[in-house]
A and B are shown apart, each in its own frame.
Chain A
Amino acid sequence: MNTPATPRFDAREASKWFFRHGHTGWLGLRFTDQGDNWVELELPWREDLIGDSSRHVLASGPIISLMDMASGMAIWQTRGSFQPVATLDLRVDYQRPARERASVRGRVECYRITRSAAFVRGIAYDESPDDPVAHVAGCFMTIGADPREDNPALRGAMGHG
């Protein structure tokens, strides 16, 4: 039987579309790296994203957005298909401020996935993953259909059930 292979979800390809629009587009998120069950994205340094007028350091809010997005993509990467998820719970433990005028990278792995839930953990760092800016842990649930299924970059890579 010749069943055509379903294209696997690819974070690098999906990023090209995801980061053109909306909140993540506004933040200017960029794809940097991926593995079987993890995705790394970058939040570029930007003057208008600082959290404290006395220091040129990225605010913690955009770092949560970075980690939330990297979490979702790590889940799709692990599942191998794009299936909309909703964040149930996300915890961020700040280890230290990011360095002045530094971009921050978020690397998140999906360490457990079931039909309806996914669990992630990750780090945000500026220079080295061995010296994180923050640790994160989160729990996500799958939700219903998403109009992004029309997106050509994701076509065929959708989850069904």
Chain B
Amino acid sequence: MADAVELPAYARSLGIVATGADEGGMPVLTVDFGPTVEGRPQHFHGGATAGLLENAGYAALRTALVTAGRDPQLKPINITVQYLAAGKSQASFAVGRITRLGRRNANVTVEAWQTDRSRPIATAVMNILMV
């Protein structure tokens, strides 16, 4: 899994790291609360939450591709983020799930949460092109 969760510069810079835990075989990523993710005072900025979701989505897809023995270049087609609850001043977590892995494209669903895994603060659906 180590290769699959090699995070891009942006993610490392924002403070996103892999927890080492997984859910359904997909890596759980986390980011601590701090100035780099703060929007309105003491809350996550929606963009930072989206960044966490997106990186968890890519990490899930790369994990599935490694398992399938594939190594394509990934290109984003789109992302739709639903914000369900304010991200408070504590760590956030996210994990992706592959809804469909095709030959040329993948559909990935991602959930982010804080203290309670059953109460997501945001979800995302991503379509990703594989070339």
Chains A and B bind each other: yes
- The residues of A with any CB-CB pair to B shorter than 8 Å are 21-27, 47-53, 58-62, 64-69, 84, 86-94, 97, 146-148
The total number of A-B Cβ pairs within 8 Å is 119
- Distance, CA A161 to CA B39, complexed state (A): 22
Contact for A148 among B41, B46, B50, CB less than 8 A: B41
Q: What chain B residues lie within 8 Å of A24 (beta carbons)?
A: 39, 45, 47
Contacts of B39 in A (CB 8 A): 22-24
Chain B interface residue count, CB cutoff 8 Å, equals 32
The 23 sampled A-B contact pairs (Cβ below 8 Å) are: A21-B38, A22-B38, A23-B35, A23-B38, A26-B35, A49-B9, A59-B11, A60-B76, A61-B10, A61-B11, A61-B54, A61-B55, A64-B50, A69-B47, A86-B86, A87-B83, A89-B83, A90-B46, A91-B79, A92-B78, A92-B80, A146-B41, A147-B41
Tell me the minimal C-beta distance from A143 to chain B in angstroms.
8
Residue of A nearest to B52 (CB): A61
Chain B proximity of A139: nearest CB distance (Å): 10
Query: Are B36's CB and A26's CB within 8 A?
Result: yes
Q: A61-B10, A86-B86 are in contact. List 20 more A-B contacts (CB 8 A).
A: A21-B38, A23-B39, A24-B47, A27-B47, A53-B8, A53-B9, A60-B76, A61-B47, A64-B50, A64-B81, A65-B48, A68-B47, A68-B50, A87-B81, A88-B83, A89-B83, A90-B80, A91-B78, A92-B78, A94-B75
